[in-house]
Amino acid sequence: MPPPRVAEFESRRIEHPGGTVEYLRAGDGPPVVLVHASGMLATRYGRLAAQWTDRYTVHVPHLIGYGATGPFDEATWTVADDVAAVGALLDTLGEAHLVGHSYGGWIALQLALARPEAVTSLAVYEPTVFGLLHEAEDAAGLADLAQFHVDPWFVDPANGGTDRWLGAFVDYWNQVDFWQVMTPEQRAPLRAVGRKIFTEVRTALADRTGRAVWAGVEVPTRVVRGGRTTVAADRGSRLLAAALPAGDAVEIPRAGHLAPLVRVGPIGAALAEHFAAHASET
């Protein structure tokens, strides 16, 4: 079996009022911007990007605190800073298909609300729209999140980014004791951005954005979820798809929350179909 295709990225940087944005770029054609998940460097998306680089130019920005994007000041950072960083990249492109994974999907949704003229189409894989679970009083989804949002230890800044905290985070999105079997080389990148992951997770858990706000996303949107994901991710994705006026929902069988890194074939195809259906008319 031949090795999987990986996009041949080149690193670029832009400056904006908030600082520096580093992004990876590969391919040729209309622009696609892919926003990474918490704890994931842009380089992790080379296999997914390779699904599109024969037809599109794929741009994968590092969020604040990752790669060379910053500065990151935990005392002053808000999620709006990450939205602005990706927005600065959109400014250079004019218009793009926008894709987001997990926390990156939440960022992408906020950009589609604020900058619809810059978003040709939107696709999100299991975005962290936890506010919808609270608004709907979704018992199954909230029970799944309960280990985090009702646990003072997990949201205590004194613990954020420690090995114990990272272990809880990694195990939730993978499986029990996953952190324990990771190699030092696999743990090191997560430790390097541990405090930023903590600020992202704590902010997402506290969010209460409801259906009426997300109903304002009017660009064509595909909400993708995995058939073997967490209960909260599944329920949140379903609630979001139902709230969007121009949204549809796709389930990828046997896929978990990290499928955009490993099950790139079916996810790449589902998103490419969405891009093609909503090509820019400009």
**All structural domains of the chain:** 10-129+209-277 (3.40.50.1820), 139-202 (no CATH)
Contact 209, 243 (CB under 8 A): no
- CA–CA separation, 99 and 107 (whole Å): 10
Give me the amino acid identity at 270. Answer: A
- Cα separation of 108 and 250, whole Å? 18
Distance (Å, whole) CA 142 – CA 145? 5
Residue 147: the pLDDT is 80
Give the per-residue pLDDT at 151: 73
Residue 60's beta-bridge partner residues?
Answer: 24
pLDDT > 70 fraction of the chain, expressed in percent and rounded: 98
Question: What residue type is 78 in one-letter code?
Answer: T
Q: What angle do CA 61, 62, 68 make, to 5 degrees?
A: 120
Q: What is the CB neighbour count within 10 angstroms for residue 225? A: 25
Backbone angles phi, psi at 55, to 5 degrees: -125, -20
The string of pLDDT tens digits covering residues 25-72 is: 999 999 999 999 999 999 999 999 999 999 999 999 999 999 999 999
CA neighbours closer than 13 Å in the CB half-sphere of residue 149: 17
Q: Is the pLDDT reported for residue 3 higher than 80?
A: no
User: Is residue 282 pLDDT above 80, yes or no?
Assistant: no
Residue type, 192: A
Give mean pLDDT, residues 103-118. 97
Give the whole-angstrom CA distance, residue 163 versus residue 138. Answer: 31
The whole-model pTM stands at 0.96
Task: Verify cis geometry, omega within 30 degrees of 0, for the bond prior to 71.
Answer: yes
Q: DSSP assignment, residue 89? A: H
User: For residue range 166-213, what is the model confidence (pLDDT) as tens digits?
Assistant: 999 999 999 889 999 999 999 999 999 999 999 999 999 999 999 999
User: What is the rounded distance in angstroms from the CA atom of residue 87 to the CA atom of residue 48?
Assistant: 22
**104 with 82: CB under 8 angstroms?**
no
- Please give the Cα distance from 37 to 101 (Å, whole number): 5
